[in-house]
Structure 1
Amino acid sequence: MHMDFEEELRKSLAGSPVFRKDGEVTLDRDFIPEKVLHRDEIIKRMLLDFKIVMKENKGVNIGVRGGGGFGKTLVSRFSQQKLKNVADEFGINIDIQYYNCFNHRTLGAILRDYLLDKHMYMSGKGFSISELMTYLIQNLEKKNIKLVIILDEIQNLDTSEIMQLLTINEDFRTNNNTKEFVSFILIARDYDWNNILVKEPRIAQRLTSTYKLEQYTASELFDIYLYRMELAFKEGVFSDDNIELIVDMSETSGNVYYGIELMRHAGKRAEFLHENEVLPEMIRGAAKNVSTEFREPLLDKLRPHELFSLLAVARLLERLSDKNINKITIYNAYNEYKVVCEEYGKNPHVITVFRKHVKKLHQNHLLKQRIVNIKTRGRRGEINIIGFSAELVKKKVIECLDGLSMNEES
C-alpha cells in the first residue's frame, strides 16, 4: 500500500495524539523544569555557598560529582537559574554561563568563546591565556559583572588549566582590588573526579564545597518520571504501570535521563503509529534506540532450560503488551514454559527448579523479578523484561536455540 507522505505530514502538523503542545521539548536534556525533585538539600546548600558572591564580592568554587544521570548538570543549572532570579531582584549583575568541556576542550576555547559572545571586542586569537584572563577580569570589573561559569565534564580539560581557572581571582587582581569577579561550578562523574584529583590533588583544596549526588531510589525515579510525563504527554497516554516499567528499566543504573529518553522514544513510536496510548512493548522497543545492543554473549552461557524459561517470559509479555500488561506472575510464566518445552520436545522441570532458572536470568539482567505484597492475596512474584523489547529477546533466544545442540542434556 502506497503511503501518502504529505498527508502524514499534515496530520503531524495538526497536532500530536500523545504529546502536549511543546511537550516534547520538555524531554530534552537541556530543558530545566520548574521543579527539581529529590535534590532540595543540595540545591539549598549550593545557593547558600553563593551568598558571599552576592553580599561580599567574593568568588566561590564548587565541585559536583556523582554517577551518570544522577542530576549533576540539572542541579547546577537550576540552582544558578534561581541565583540569577534573586540577583536581578536586588539589582546585582550576575552572568551565568554553561560550557560542556567535551565541546570546549581547552581553557583558551572557553575564554575566547565567552569574550566573543559577550561582545568584549576581542577574538582571542593570537593572545596567551594570561592575556585573555587579564582582559576578562578588566572587563568584568569595568562592567561590574559577577561571572559564574558552569563547566561540565571537566575531565576533558587538562588539570593544569583547571588550576588556572580556580586561581584566576588571585592571580589577576587589578590595582590591589580585593573584589573577586569569577566563580566556578565543576562537574564530573565519580570515576573521572577521582582521576582528576589523583593527577592534581591541589584542586580539592581550591574548592569551597564539593557535593556528591547519590543514586536515585526507585520511588524517587517514579516521582521524577511522573512529573516529566505530566509535562510532556497528554492525559491517559502513560499509565502508572508503564511508568513503573521505566523505573524497572533504569533502577539498576539510577540514570534518570535513560528513563526520560525511553519516554521520548516510546511516545514517538506511539505518535508514528497514530496511537493515543503508549504500550509496554513500545517502551521496551525504545531501549534499542537508547541503550547498548542486546546481551547476546550471555545467551551462549545459558543452559537449554534457562533459554526455554527466558523464551516463555518473552513470548507471554509480547502477547500481553497489546492489553497494556507489562508484568507476569511466576505461575503464568511457568505455564508458558511448559508449552515451550513441549514444542522443543523436552520434559519441563518442576516449578521449584524453574524458579532457579528465573533467578539466574534476573542475576544476568536478562529479566527482572521482584516480590510484591498483595493486600488480599499475600506475597507474589512478578517478572518483566527491562532494557529490550520482548520481541527482540524472543527472536534472539530462538536463534540461540536453533544453533544449540539439543542432544546435550541440561
Structure 2
Amino acid sequence: MDDEIFSKYLKTESVFKDQQSLNQAWVPTSKQKIICRQNELKKLLLIHRPIIQTQGEFSTNTLVLGKGGIGKTVTIRYFGKRFREAVLKEDIKLTIEYYDCLQHRTKSSILRNISERLHYSAGHGYSDNEIMEQILKELIKRKESLLIILDEVHKLPPDDILSLLNASIGFGEQNTRFCIICISRESDWFKVDNEKISSRIQEVIKMQPYNKEESFEILQYRRNLAFRDGVLEDDVLELIADIVYEQKNMRTGIDIMRSCGLHADEQMTSTITPEMVLQSRESVSPSFRADILDNLSLHEHLTLWAIAAALKHTGNPFTKVDESFEFYKMKCEELGYKPHVQMSFRKYIRNLSSVKAIYKEYLNPTSEKKGRQIQIKLTDITPEKLCDYFEKRIPPKA
C-alpha cells in the first residue's frame, strides 16, 4: 500500500513549478523582483547610500513599521541582498546579517553570533559590552561595514535594544561602520519604545497595507513564479485578492495559494477551483490577528476564548451573550481567575467587535424575548484554531 502511494504521487506531475517561492522565508533572487514596494526600496537605498559614498565610514539606525503580512521582512531582506551586491562592486567590504528576535531574544545571543559570523571569536568570560567593543574595533580594523536586520525587534528587552542602537551611533571618536534596521509591527513597537530609544532612531519608514490593485498584481506575480501555466486562472486569483484586501494581509493570500496547490496535487487535478480557495481560507490562520490579540486585556482574551469555546461546543455558526458568558465563567474558574460581572462581559464584547475580532448583530425582539438579542460570530478564524491559540498562551493563574 505504501509503495502504491509513493509511486502514484511521485510519478504524477505537480501543479507547482516552484513551490519554494510560496514559503514564508522566500526572498527574491537577483533575477526576480519585489512588487509594489519600490518607494520603500528607494528610501532604504538613499538612507544607506553613504556606505558607498564614504567607503563604509557611516552608521545609521532605521526603523520599519507596519502591520503583519504586508511584506516588511521580504522587502528588507531583498534590499539587503541587492544592496550588498551593489556595494561589493565598489570594492567595499559589507556584511549583512538577519536576526529573527523570536529566535535571538537577547543582545548577548546576537553579539556572540555576530562574532562567529565575522570569524572572530570573542572568547569566554567577556561581558556583552566587551564583546560589542571588540566587534566594533574589528570592523574598524578591517575597514568593513556591518548591517544587521533585527526582525520582530520588540521581542528584545528595551535595554538591549537601546544598547545596540547606541553602539551603531558611535564608539569613542571613530565611526563604528555599524548600521541597524529594526522591523516591528507598530502596535508592538509602542510596548518597548521610550524617549531614549526614539532618540537613537535616525529614520522611520512606515509601510502601508496593499490596496486591491496591488494585491492582485503581487498575487499574479507570485502565481506565475509558483505554478504551471493554467493552474490558477485570473478569475480565481481575484477571489484570493479580495481576501487579501479585506484582511489587509498578503501572507494570508500566499498561504491560501500554497494550500490550494497542495490540495490540487492531493486530488491529482491540474486546476485550482473557487471551492479550493474557500476551503483553504478556513484552514489558513491569518498572522495579522496578532495585531488584534496583542492589544487585548486578559479578560478580553478570556471573553474571546469563551465565545470560541461556545461555538466549538455547540457547532453553531453563532452564539449569544448569555451562552458565551457561561463559558467565560467556566474558563475563569478553570484557570483560577475571578470572573467579572455580565455588564463588564458585555463591554468586552463591544470592544472585541470594535477591533473586528468578532461580528455582532442585533436580532429583532420576539414574543419570547422582549429585548434585542445579540448574535455573535467569529470573523475569519475557526473556533478550534482560536481555542488552540489560547490554550497555548493563557496559563492558569499562579
TM over 0.5: yes
- The CA deviation string for residues 169-221 of structure 1, in whole angstroms up to 9 with x for no partner, is 45534xx4x33311000010010122222xx2222221221011111111111
- Residues of 2 paired with 1:239 and 1:230: CA distance? 10
- Residues of 2 paired with 1:254 and 1:170: CA distance? 35
Q: Which amino acid is the alignment partner of residue 7 of structure 2? A: R
Residue identity (%): 29
Residue 204 of structure 1 is matched in structure 2 by: 198
- The CA deviation string for residues 24-58 of structure 1, in whole angstroms up to 9 with x for no partner, is 00011111122111111111011010012222211
Residue 189 of structure 2 is matched in structure 1 by: 193
Residue 114 of structure 1 is matched in structure 2 by: 114
**SS in structure 1 at match of 2:247:** coil
Decide which of 40, 47, 59 is 1:42's aligned counterpart: 40
- Residues of 2 paired with 1:118 and 1:137: CA distance? 11
Residue 142 of structure 2 is matched in structure 1 by: 143
Contact 1:146 1:181 in 2 (8 A): yes
Residue 396 of structure 1 is matched in structure 2 by: none
Decide which of 2, 9, 25 is 1:30's aligned counterpart: 25
Residue 278 of structure 1 is matched in structure 2 by: 272
- Residues of 1 paired with 2:79 and 2:12: CA distance? 34
Structure 2 unmatched runs, 5+: 287-304, 322-373, 385-398
Query: Root-mean-square deviation (CA), in Å?
Result: 2.6
Deviation at 1:298, TM superposition (A): 5.6
Matched, 1:9 2:3: no
Residue 306 of structure 1 is matched in structure 2 by: none
Work out which of the two has the higher radius of gyration on C-alpha atoms and give 1 or 2: 1
Contact 2:60 2:169 in 1 (8 A): no
Q: Output aligned runs, 1:109-258, within 5 Å.
A: 109-122=109-122, 125-170=124-169, 172-173=171-172, 176=173, 178-197=174-193, 200-258=194-252
Cα separation, partners in 2 of 1:169 and 1:282, compared to 1, 3 Å: closer
- Residues of 2 paired with 1:144 and 1:289: CA distance? 50
Q: Which amino acid is the alignment partner of residue 210 of structure 2? A: Y
Deviation at 1:222, TM superposition (A): 0.6
Contact 1:133 1:172 in 2 (8 A): no
- The CA deviation string for residues 91-135 of structure 1, in whole angstroms up to 9 with x for no partner, is 111111100101100000001112123321235x43211111011
Q: Which amino acid is the alignment partner of residue 125 of structure 2? A: G
- Residues of 2 paired with 1:119 and 1:135: CA distance? 12
Task: Identify which range, 246-255 or 206-215, moves more after superposition.
Answer: 246-255
- Residues of 2 paired with 1:12 and 1:139: CA distance? 53
Structure 1 runs of 4+ off > 4 angstroms?
292-295, 363-366
Q: How many residues align?
A: 301
Q: Which amino acid is the alignment partner of residue 106 of structure 1? A: T
**SS in structure 1 at match of 2:181:** strand
- The CA deviation string for residues 131-158 of structure 1, in whole angstroms up to 9 with x for no partner, is 1101111221222210000000011111
Cα separation, partners in 2 of 1:286 and 1:130, compared to 1, 3 Å: same
- What is the TM-score of this pair, normalised by structure 1? 0.68
Q: Which amino acid is the alignment partner of residue 8 of structure 1? A: I
**SS in structure 1 at match of 2:96:** strand
Structure 1 unmatched runs, 5+: 303-359, 367-385, 393-410
**SS in structure 2 at match of 1:126:** coil
